[in-house]
Amino acid sequence: MTDTIIINAKVTTLDRENPQAEAVAIRDGKFLAVGSEAEVRAAAPEATVIDAKGHRLIPGLIDSHMHIIRGGLNFNMELRWDGVTSLSEAMAMLKKQVDNTPAPQWVRVVGGFTEHQFAEKRLPTIQELNAVAPDTPVFILHLYDRALLNAAALRVVGYTKDTPNPPGGEIMRDSQGNPTGLLLAQPNATILYSTLAKGPKLPPEYQLNSTRHFMREVNALGVTGVIDAGGGFQNYPDDYDIIEKLHQDDQLTVRISYNLFTQKPKEELADFAGWAKQVTPGQGDDTYRHNGAGEMLVYSAADFEDFRQPRPDMAPSMEGDLEPVIRLLAENRWPWRLHATYDETIGRALDVYEKVNADIPLQGINWFFDHAETISDRNIDRIAALGGGIAVQHRMAYQGEYFVERYGAKAAERTPPIARMIAAGIPVGAGTDATRVASYNPWVSLSWLVTGRTVGGLSLYRGDNRVSREKALRMWTHENTWFSTEVGKKGQIKAGQLADLALLSDDYFAVPDNEIVHIRSILTMLGGKVVHGDGDFAPLAPELPRPMPDWSPVATFGGYYQTPEAKQKLASACGCASSCGVHGHDHAENGGAIFGHASGGIVLLRAA
């Protein structure tokens, strides 16, 4: 690899000893120098030079909780409604995709949106789905509370008057007892998962392509690192073949640390005992490495985050099921994470952790809770005493309205109590919980952390439970490295750290609050290698094969939706010859960019 210099940038380093700079130098995948243009040119006099044209440069974003491995296997099959602002637009997209989709394939909208983001403030009716798709199966997952199936999908999955309700779910029926097409998670999402699993899967070659497209999609939003939280129907090692093949072929454009999620109720201890003999935390390299256990540790400890339903009570067996798993993990020094929405669940889990800690000290094991929307001050302090952390996600940006309806606006002001967590001195990181319960767009999370508003516009938090833009960015970068036991390795623009960075379409520190969600990356680098570029920077990025299959919604709509106004603004910001698309670009004359020779290598110049 040749040296690279980026000049003429507003560099936010997040290094307190050197907070601002105008240029960086990169060598062998790491930052070599950070400072003035003169300083970095002197450090790497023969480098290739990239002109940032005055844009804000930040460390690459790290999502502490995403299901990127599972999401990548399915991304090319999914029509994303993430960010769509009206139901009428969403239905127009659905109709176009129905027309493009051959039998026997389904059209799937699998999470990442809420009805509250639509101007109409509602979901489509089953009748509307049947009208646009009389013959093509349509499956729409809304958060983890419900799924909508048209008549064609009901026929394919075989749900009839005689189909009984599965445990934990309800098939809604008409007055004659026939399924209507509405499936409810009551009190868990098993029926939603299992119904979706009945659909066609992509063959391995297409899953490789799909995962590459999903990684490039998050690269376009500035993401360079993910801690994968496992997931239902994501078995280890079978469902990791695709991501491991991409790693083997040096085609990962996101650094992935993965946690192992048990799949077998009542057999959780056997799962982890077997995995402890196969893999150790930290095994792998800086691009792909094992991170420990969870977010599912035992099924009896998994509370459910559907705020339309009452809080579920965990089974009396929870502590007895959880203790041997925690002892096994502690004995093997495995970090773990536990999905826990409610304070009651967290308190019972902490009873187990404290009991194990009396015999096997937990200090030095980077364990943490995920979510923690209703955690109490007492339990925050208990976590601090045991040396744990909390990873928060922007699920309330999608479900805040439902929480307020059930528990009231006052209770919602601390969901979760982020400021109190920070004050307690425990590690607090940020993520998305994408792709189903919320969108993978990090800027939605950053906006939620800063403004306290839902995607539907509801103001949830007072100022004392919101964070500054700088703090939110820290929670999305170097502060997330605690959760993957990689502190000091990445997350800052600092000499010696991995050269992961994002050049932004708009200045995060200057745009109005309501425009944070529209920020994208116009140049993303992983270890000093360009993995995404827009506009003038598009020629620097490696070519991505077209989405497979050819009817993929990604080929037509891309990923996260952008309004026409946001597209035009991005086109202006990144120097596009025409309005940017959402996912990948094919601009005339290489996006209006030319390359010229200069002292010290090649400089990317704006066309005259």
DSSP type of residue 362 = -
> 604 pLDDT band (50/70/90 cuts)?
low
Q: Is 535 left (phi over 0), alpha (psi -120 to 50) or beta?
A: left
Asked if the peptide bond before residue 224 counts as cis, ω within 30 degrees of 0, the response is: no
> pLDDT band at residue 576, thresholds of 50, 70 and 90?
low
> What is the Cα–Cα distance from 249 to 550, expressed in whole angstroms?
24
- Give Cα 393 to chain centroid, integer Å: 9
Query: Predicted confidence band at 190 (pLDDT cuts at 50, 70, 90)?
Result: confident
pLDDT category of residue 591 using cuts at 50, 70 and 90: very low
Where are the strands (E) in 125-168, listed by range?
Answer: 138-142, 146-149
Asked if 58 and 477 touch (Cβ cutoff 8 Å), the reply is: yes
List residues bridging with 30 in a β-sheet. 27, 498
Q: What angle separates helix 204-219 from helix 241-248, to the nearest 10 degrees?
A: 70
Sheet holding 288-293, edge to edge: 61-66, 223-228, 255-260, 288-293
3-state secondary structure 556-567: HHCCCCCCHHHH
Answer whether residue 209 shows pLDDT above 90.
yes
Residue-range domains of the chain with CATH:
1-104+200-261+493-608 (2.30.40.10), 292-484 (3.20.20.140)
pLDDT of residue 588: 31
Average pLDDT over residues 225-245: 94
Confidence tier at 599 by pLDDT (50, 70, 90): very low
Condensed to tens digits (0 to 9), the pLDDT of residues 493-503 reads 999 999 999 99
Global pTM reads 0.94
Those residues with Cβ within 8 angstroms of residue 271's Cβ, 6 or more apart along the chain or in another chain: 260, 262, 263, 264
Q: How much is the pLDDT for 1?
A: 64
Task: Output the average pLDDT for the chain.
Answer: 93
User: Nearest 5°: CA angle at 540, between 8 and 251?
Assistant: 125
Strands 223-228 and 179-185: unpaired
Read off the DSSP letter of residue 408.
-
Q: What percent of the chain has pLDDT over 90?
A: 89
**Pick from 18-27, 104-113, 190-199, 206-215: least confident:** 190-199
Instruction: Tell me if 361 sits within 8 A of 414, measured CB to CB.
Output: no
Average pLDDT on 213-241 reads 95
- What pLDDT shows up at residue 316? 97
* Residues 542-547, mean pLDDT to the nearest whole number: 96
From CA 333, how far away is CA 306, in angstroms rounded?
33
293/271 Cα distance (integer angstroms): 10
Q: Per-residue pLDDT for 582 more than 70?
A: no
In this predicted structure, which of 101-105, 278-282, 566-570 has the lowest mean pLDDT? 566-570
The 10s digit of each residue's pLDDT in 423-452 is 999 999 999 999 999 999 999 999 999 999
Name the token pair of 219: 């690269």
Phi-psi region of 83 (alpha: psi -120 to 50; beta: other; left: phi over 0): left
- Average pLDDT of 142-155? 97
The percent of residues in the chain predicted with pLDDT above 70, rounded, is: 94
41-79: pLDDT as tens digits:
999 999 999 999 999 999 999 999 999 999 999 999 999
Distance CA 343, CA 374 (A): 5
